Amino acid sequence: MKRFWLLFSQAVTVLVAAYFVVATLQPDWLRRGATRSGAGIALLEAPAPAGAPAPAPGSYSAAARKAAPAVVSINTSKAVRHPRSNDPWFQFFFGDQGAQAQAGLGSGVIISPEGYILTNNHVVEGADEIEVTLTDSRRARARVIGTDPDTDLAILKIELDKLPVIVLGNSDQLAVGDHVLAIGNPFGVGQTVTSGIVSALGRSQLGINTFENFIQTDAAINPGNSGGALVDVYGNLQGINTAIYSRSGGSMGIGFAIPVSTAKMVLDGIVRDGQVTRGWIGVEPNELSPELAETFGVKASEGVIITGVLQDGPAAQAGMRPGDVIVQVAGKPVRNVSELLTAVAALRPGQKAPFTVQRGDGTVELQVSPGVRPSPQRAARR
């Protein structure tokens, strides 16, 4: 036993002595992750991971990696002449000014391996040339397949192989508070990813488009982001960024995106028919107010009151009357005129859809077969 303790004490003495020698001569050896820079400065570095590094808690890097390659930068140019360039007196004093090239910048989203790209109409409107730049630095001339100014959407097409394609999400399942990422090319600095939440849904009456059903987000959106992607934490497309509210020209935390459900409808209409065909029922709707409710003798607290019905129009043929309050269209509630306009426009002409109507003290369900919405110049009713 005595011999065992003697060996133990000698081993401890040797280890302690070795520790003091190393601590005195090479203290860096005792520091985990210790290293020296090229200038000989002692630094501490994290150890290299054994495999692929796991994302930090709360990181959206996986979503960004999945969606970002399908988001492109769009550069446009068009020739602009001075409004008085043909005036002889203007030419006498200033000479022939000629056409000046005007450049534009925006973003877009590749949604099909066939080369279809979703962007905003205002990004490509009036452009003579459109060039698309991918994240892998490939460039291609794009042609406009069609535009829909009523939703501010446009469909482009490029001819390239092995295109990255974004995965479409379900914008109808978004909820206020959900985390989202905005991807685009703000101010032309290069592709940028910003994060935020869904601040509101169904924003309308903003005076931006004819059909407004915006996703509002506080993810930073700036000039150049128009036409870019709003994606969820899984990297799936939820909307096309289109507008911001700003007093300075930059982001103030109020941005708007067109839901992907609307974008899909526009895409199908333009590619299939060359235009977007929308439903129309021939009524004159108004916001429900206590005064109108009393005038028409209805006891409804929400919905859209109909103050006029076009004779022999789709609504009249289905039995709709002035004073009816539309509360649902195809099973979806409508709370204001903008929501009714959007819901009716989404209906397929010629295909009957159920309209839930409050009439007096009771509820009536009407089967309305929508017609084709007239062009804005001819449309006096919705």
CATH code of 349's domain: 2.30.42.10
Residues 121 and 242 in one domain: yes
Look up the domain containing 177 and give its range.
60-81+99-276
Residues 266 and 290 in one domain: no
* 152 in active site: yes
Q: Is the pLDDT of residue 83 over 70?
A: no
Q: How far apart are CA 302 and CA 294, in angstroms?
A: 14
**Is 17 part of any domain?**
no
Residues 214 and 150 in one domain: yes
Residues 104 and 243 in one domain: yes
**Is 148 part of any domain?**
yes
Provide the pLDDT confidence category of residue 258 given band limits of 50, 70 and 90. very high
Residues 220 and 306 in one domain: no
Sign of CA dihedral 85, 91, 96, 97: negative
How many structural domains comprise the chain? 2
Residues 250 and 109 in one domain: yes
Q: How far apart are CA 269 and CA 338, in angstroms?
A: 21
Contact 71, 135 (CB under 8 A): yes
Among 31-40, 85-94, 268-277, the minimum mean pLDDT is found in: 85-94
More confident residue, 120 or 39: 120
The pLDDT assigned to 231 comes to 96
Q: Is the pLDDT of residue 156 over 60?
A: yes
Q: What mean pLDDT is predicted for residues 184-213?
A: 86
**Is 363 part of any domain?**
yes
Q: Is the pLDDT of residue 22 over 60?
A: no
Residues 223 and 149 in one domain: yes
Among 96-100, 229-233, 273-277, the minimum mean pLDDT is found in: 96-100
Catalytic residue among 73, 199, 226, 251: 226
Last residue of a domain, one of 221, 248, 276: 276
Residues 266 and 344 in one domain: no
Catalytic residue among 73, 107, 148, 152: 152
User: How many CB atoms sit inside 10 A of residue 116's CB?
Assistant: 20
**Is 23 part of any domain?**
no
Q: Is the pLDDT of residue 174 over 70?
A: yes
Last residue of a domain, one of 276, 292, 312: 276
- 39-72 residue pLDDT tens: 778 777 767 666 656 667 778 899 999 999 999 9
**Is 249 part of any domain?**
yes
- How far CA 321 is from CA of 275, 337, 349, 355, 369, in Å, comes to 31, 17, 21, 13, 15
Last residue of a domain, one of 241, 276, 311: 276
More confident residue, 89 or 171: 171
Sign of CA dihedral 192, 194, 198, 203: negative
The pLDDT assigned to 167 comes to 94
Instruction: Specify which residues 230 forms β-bridges with.
Output: 182, 239
For 317, phi and psi rounded to 5 degrees? -65, -25
Provide the pLDDT confidence category of residue 346 given band limits of 50, 70 and 90. confident
Q: State the average pLDDT for the chain.
A: 82
**Is 54 part of any domain?**
no
CATH of the domain at 133: 2.40.10.120
* Dihedral (Cα; 131, 185, 268, 150), 10-degree rounding: -100
Task: Give the pair of three-digit tokens for residue 334.
Answer: 């409508």
The pLDDT assigned to 126 comes to 85
Residues 272 and 283 in one domain: no
Among 95-109, 240-254, 302-316, the minimum mean pLDDT is found in: 95-109
**Is 129 part of any domain?**
yes
Q: How far apart are CA 183 and CA 181, in angstroms?
A: 6
The pLDDT assigned to 212 comes to 80
Which string of DSSP letters, residue by residue, matches 325-367? EEEEETTEE--SHHHHHHHHHTSPTTS-EEEEEEETTEEEEEE
Residues 104 and 212 in one domain: yes
Provide the pLDDT confidence category of residue 24 given band limits of 50, 70 and 90. low
For 104, phi and psi rounded to 5 degrees? -135, 160
343: three-class secondary structure by DSSP: helix
The pLDDT assigned to 376 comes to 54
Residues 253 and 298 in one domain: no
**Percent of the residues in the chain that have a pLDDT greater than 70, as a whole number:** 78
Q: How far apart are CA 347 and CA 334, in angstroms?
A: 14
Catalytic residue among 122, 204, 218, 324: 122
Residues 155 and 294 in one domain: no
**Is 177 part of any domain?**
yes
More confident residue, 27 or 90: 27
